[in-house]
């Protein structure tokens, strides 16, 4: 079995290969003078099972994923499994206004047509799994987050919106603490209104848990409210840290930011490799 890691996933690919007892397949990954991508697998994967690990964010990674899948197929792999740690475009799993694309369907169908199965991690909208057209599974990143938090002295888990309720309740149960769900109203791409509801966070060490930090608006607004309410500390944990534009700056209000390695960054604190390996075994 071989693990082929996309350009952003060297470390995650190596951990995954180790956990699965697989070999890491070297890849030449470069660009032509005009900016087009070139990939070449450096191992003979003919007749082998191949796991390709690549995000569909940012856009450029979609192209890299398709080329890696095609290279594995061309080289005669027996079975190709696509692991998408962060499935970009999963927030457009339907049209919100006439004339829009169902973006995750367009990307998902292309990927699914080139592999035998697809695995995602804490996907924003499970509906997206239907678009791959091959067997697919979403692996929860919540347990990895909660296990990492176990050493952090958490008093309360906060879900910034209804969409985060299930994963926050799961984390709170693992940590044996309470969970509080806030209510969110999105004003535009960068700004949200949060209503805290019936909560007195005074003196508590609070962790806000979400699937994605994009512009940071959701976490920053929630954290401000919790701090104003007297929380002793407010940290944020999320599976996918995108940190768009000045997100890191907006999030300075948080005492700590902790993200998984689905997107490797300076905020990566824990790995989802074990939960992926478990699902793939």
- Give the footprint of ligand R5P on this chain (CB under 6 A): 160-161, 163-164, 192, 210-218
Q: Which is nearer to ligand R5P, 13 or 217 (CB)?
A: 217
> What single string gives the DSSP state of each residue in 94-118?
S-SSTT---HHHHHHHHHHTTSSEE
Q: Which is nearer to ligand R5P, 161 or 170 (CB)?
A: 161
Given the complex with ligand R5P, which of 114 and 213 has the nearer CB atom? 213
**Among candidate residues 118, 156, 154, the one with its CA nearest the CA of residue 138:** 118
CB of 103 to ligand R5P, least distance (A): 14
Residue whose entry in the numeric block shows the structure tokens 């768009």: 244
Greatest Cα pair distance, the chain, in angstroms, is 60
Q: What's the closest the beta carbon of residue 187 comes to ligand R5P, in angstroms?
A: 10
Minimum distance of ligand R5P from residue 27's CB (angstroms): 30
The smaller minimum CB distance to ligand R5P, of residues 95 and 113, is found at 95
* b/e 206-237 (16+ beta carbons within 10 angstroms → b): bbbbbbbbbbbbbbbbbbebbbeeebebbbbb
Q: Catalytic site residue 184?
A: yes
| 157 beta partners | 179, 207
Cα–Cα distance measured from residue 3 to residue 88, given in angstroms and rounded to the nearest whole number: 21
Catalytic residue among 18, 46, 184, 227: 184
Q: Shortest gap between Cβ of 12 and ligand R5P (angstroms)?
A: 21
Catalytically annotated residues: 184
């Amino acid at each position: 079995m071989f693990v082929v890691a996309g350009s952003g996933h060297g470390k995650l690919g190596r951990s995954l290969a180790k956990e699965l007892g697989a070999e890491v397949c070297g890849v030449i990954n470069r660009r032509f003078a005009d900016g087009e991508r070139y990939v070449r697998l450096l191992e003979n994967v003919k007749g082998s099972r191949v796991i390709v690990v690549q995000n569909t964010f940012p856009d450029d990674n979609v192209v890299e994923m398709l080329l890696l899948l095609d290279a594995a197929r061309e080289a005669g792999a027996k079975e190709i499994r696509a692991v998408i740690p962060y499935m970009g475009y999963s927030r457009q799993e339907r049209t919100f206004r006439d004339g829009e694309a169902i973006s995750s369907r367009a990307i998902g169908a292309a990927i699914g047509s080139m592999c035998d199965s697809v695995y995602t991690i804490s996907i924003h909208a499970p509906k997206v799994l239907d678009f791959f057209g091959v067997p697919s599974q979403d692996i929860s990143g919540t347990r990895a987050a909660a296990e990492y938090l176990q050493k952090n002295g958490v008093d309360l888990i906060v879900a910034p919106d209804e969409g985060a309720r299930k994963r926050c309740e799961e984390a709170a149960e693992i940590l044996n603490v309470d969970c509080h769900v806030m209510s969110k109203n999105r004003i535009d791409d960068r700004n949200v209104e949060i209503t805290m509801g019936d909560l007195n966070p005074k003196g508590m060490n609070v962790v806000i848990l979400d699937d994605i930090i994009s512009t940071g608006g959701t976490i920053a607004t929630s954290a401000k409210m919790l701090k104003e309410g007297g929380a002793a500390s407010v940290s944020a944990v999320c599976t996918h840290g995108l940190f768009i534009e000045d997100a890191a700056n907006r999030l300075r209000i948080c005492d700590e930011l902790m993200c998984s390695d689905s997107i490797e960054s300076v905020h990566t604190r824990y790995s989802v490799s074990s939960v992926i390996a478990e699902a793939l075994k």
